[in-house]
Amino acid sequence: MLHAMSNLPDHDRAPPAPRFGEALRFWFKLGCISFGGPAGQIALMHEELVVRRRWISERRFLHALNYCMLLPGPEAQQLATYMGWLLHRARGGIAAGALFVLPSLLLLIALSWLYMAYGHTGWMSALFYGIKAAITAIVLQAAWRLGQRVLRRDTRLWTLAGAAFVAIFALQLPFPLIIAAAALLGWLWRDRLAPTAGGHPSAGAPSPGLAVIDDHSPPPAHARFSRRRLGWQLLAAALLWGLPLLTLWSLPLLPQLGLFFSKAALLTFGGAYAVLPYVFQGAVHQHGWLSAGQMMDGLALGETTPGPLIMVLAFVGFVAGWQDPALLAALQAAPWVAGALAACVVTWFTFLPSFVFIMAGGPLVESTHGNLRLSAPLTAISAAVVGVILNLALFFAYHLLWPQGFAGSFEAPAALLALGAAAALIWARRGVLEVLLVCALLGWVMKAV
């Protein structure tokens, strides 16, 4: 029998379970090459984990993905954390989630330093002139794509998206209030709203063969629900949130960043673009940590780095730390040191909830294969987010086209660049990184001429 099993084709035999070191090398590689936004990152994980390496089956992968789509936070990073946790317990989840973020954080700190140190030079300003036009088009594309997937032909969802736009654009209501109202309406309409389609390319694909953790594999011991383990996990989460905050409490700015981005982390339904209006309201208008133009530039830097787009929040922290005189005086350090420390603080408090959701909620998910669906409240939240992102696109367009306000001159070259970028993204379906590079080059040429 053993001899017969050894002659089975690879398709009919599960591969050996990966060692932790092998998985560690894979997660680091994934963190370095995960460009293309959440859809591209999830497709890359599916290709590697399900098709090529067969560490997990198709159904188990999709089941975990559905859970991550229900959560606030970056779904691709949460999915990597879930896969690592399922394969190698807590250390695997921590390693997978951290390595998904770490390369992006280090690269973004370096780019933020270059931006703050040399961003006002002529050639750098010329490059960002074109990049800001591309960013306006990218945010508009985000609203367009989410609207196509969510709104469909449902009058209620269209009305909800329009009401959310009016609420944040005209009434300037807080973003959390808009999200809460949308969730309530979704609950009231739960019998009438169909769940949002996932739309991921892996759905319905043929099985590549038996996997290490297959459809019918029993959950590993660490993936079985335990009240005691859940209690310890929640206690650890409270300590990991509270102790750093207490340590930073005597310093300027950093406790504010920790509290603000803890709230932001719980509001990221619909992706990074959904939370940007909340960050704009707080970081730009309320606290004045950075300007609207700097926020646009930071979004451009976030688009050019691997990892989740929500890493743009680390740029917000870096600029806030660099420009805060009280923090510089308290640390008695160079601006880049304060900026790097603030970026690390923002990253810690932004991603900590994602690890908690996976470690604490994973055992419950593993016990409900095939039963987890996107809820009506989430569908309503996604519809409201369409209107919120559209408001963000108009906000960017205003600062791009009338940099001195409506009393100033109209930037016709920037308008042409933005229209061209939008056409390339929405109708020609060109890649984000490609459009950014072309717009940066054209902006440089326009300024040079």
End position of a domain, from candidates 98, 123, 149: 98
- Residues 57, 128: one domain? no
Task: Using alpha carbons, select from 277, 310, 26 the residue that is nearest to residue 172.
Answer: 277
At 389 the three-state DSSP class reads helix
End position of a domain, from candidates 64, 98, 132: 98
* Sequence-distant (≥ 6) Cβ neighbours of residue 211 within 8 angstroms: 14, 15, 50, 54, 55, 56, 57, 60, 217
What integer pLDDT is reported at residue 382 of this predicted model? Answer: 75
- Residues 94, 133: one domain? no
5 assigned to some structural domain:
no
Report d(CA 251, CA 288) in Å as an integer. 18
Q: How many CB atoms lie within 10 A of CB 258?
A: 23
Tokens of 11: 């398709």
End position of a domain, from candidates 98, 115, 135: 98
- Residues 349, 430: one domain? yes
- Residues 327, 397: one domain? yes
- Residues 167, 87: one domain? no
How many CA atoms lie less than 13 Å away from 75 in the CB half-sphere? 23
CB of 322 within 8 A of CB of 298?
no
Q: Please, which residues bridge with residue 56 across strands? A: 213
What integer pLDDT is reported at residue 169 of this predicted model? Answer: 82
What integer pLDDT is reported at residue 368 of this predicted model? Answer: 60
220 assigned to some structural domain:
no
Q: Which domain holds residue 37?
A: 14-98
At residue 198, what is the residue type?
G
What integer pLDDT is reported at residue 157 of this predicted model? Answer: 87
Report d(CA 107, CA 407) in Å as an integer. 39
- Residues 25, 170: one domain? no
- Residues 267, 159: one domain? yes
What integer pLDDT is reported at residue 204 of this predicted model? Answer: 43
What pLDDT digit, counting tens, does each position of 64-76 carry? Answer: 876 787 778 888 8
Q: What are phi and psi of 56, to 5 degrees?
A: -145, 150
DSSP state of 372: -
CB of 347 within 8 A of CB of 101?
yes
- Residues 44, 119: one domain? no
- Residues 129, 239: one domain? yes
Tokens of 341: 């420390």
Instruction: Please list the ranges in the chain whose pLDDT falls under 50.
Output: 1-9, 195-205, 370-374
What integer pLDDT is reported at residue 31 of this predicted model? Answer: 87
What integer pLDDT is reported at residue 260 of this predicted model? Answer: 95
- Residues 115, 240: one domain? yes
What integer pLDDT is reported at residue 370 of this predicted model? Answer: 44
226 assigned to some structural domain:
no
At residue 182, what is the residue type?
A
Q: Please, which residues bridge with residue 213 across strands? A: 56
What integer pLDDT is reported at residue 2 of this predicted model? Answer: 36
Between CA 146 and CA 300, with CA 42 as vertex, the angle to 5 degrees is: 60
Report d(CA 352, CA 374) in Å as an integer. 23
What integer pLDDT is reported at residue 39 of this predicted model? Answer: 63
Tokens of 222: 């660490």
- Residues 59, 137: one domain? no
Helix, strand, coil percent content, the chain, rounded in steps of 5: 75, 0, 25
Report how many domains make up the chain.
Answer: 2
